Amino acid sequence: MVTTMRASLRTLGSTFAAFALTFAVGCDHGDEHDSHDSHDSHDSHDSGDSGDVEVDEYSAGLMKMSDEGHFMVALTSEPGPPVKGVNTWTLTISDHAGADAEDAEVIVTPYMPEHGHGSQSDAVVTVDGGGQYTVTPVDLHMAGVWDSTIEITHGGMTDEVHFVFDIEEV
């Protein structure tokens, strides 16, 4: 019973991820005609060697479900997409019923799986209210794939979600 439920929640999570990805791709196409600026020179990123980690396509408010389906997390980065160096992330967290996750304990841990190291700075999480949290510095100090674990404890549940971004060389 529990196993079945978790399996279906995982499927739901994948659907959300697919939706977010589709949405991001859709946005890119929409901007195609008026965004042929300096960013184009960075588009040829070699994400083929990122191992078995699935890289997320960034868009503001990118939404993912936590691994066990307890929380939904929307992430916006400033600057966005996240850059090499210091970023500030805004997270909006809701529980499985869609209610704001107020006063959750949130721990953000960026990690480079290809290199086996974390960030050189501790990410400090501030509670903004309304289920919103500000995280800074998110210090992605090298180019390459960063897998950031966001561990959330709220309402007696602990669950985590991963946001994986391929950070480009400046």
Please identify, using beta-carbon distances, which residue of 75 and 112 lies nearer to Cu ion: 112
3-class secondary-structure state, position 11: helix
User: Which residue number, 71 or 165, has a Cβ lying nearer to Cu ion?
Assistant: 165
Cα 133 to the center of its chain, rounded Å: 13
Nearer to Cu ion, 24 or 142 (CB): 142
Shortest reach from residue 143's CB to Cu ion, in Å: 8
x/- map, 106-145, Cu ion, by CB under 5 A: ------x--x--------------------------x---
Q: How far is the CB of 113 from Cu ion (least distance, A)?
A: 9
Starting at the earlier edge strand, list the strands of the sheet with 105-112.
Answer: 117-118, 105-112, 144-154, 157-167
Min CB(115)–Cu ion separation in Å: 3
d(CA 159, CA 142): 27
Residue 32: which residues within 8 A CB-CB, separation 6 or more? none
Residues 6+ apart with CB under 8 A from 95: 70, 71, 101, 154, 155
| Binding to Cu ion in span 74-113, by CB under 5 A | 112
Q: Toward Cu ion, which CB reaches closer, 127 or 142? A: 142
Tell the smallest beta-carbon distance from residue 145 to Cu ion (Å): 9
| Cβ atoms 68, 156 nearer than 8 A | no
Nearer Cβ to Cu ion, position 6 or 115?
Answer: 115
In the complex, the residues that contact Cu ion under the rule CB under 5 A are 112, 115, 142
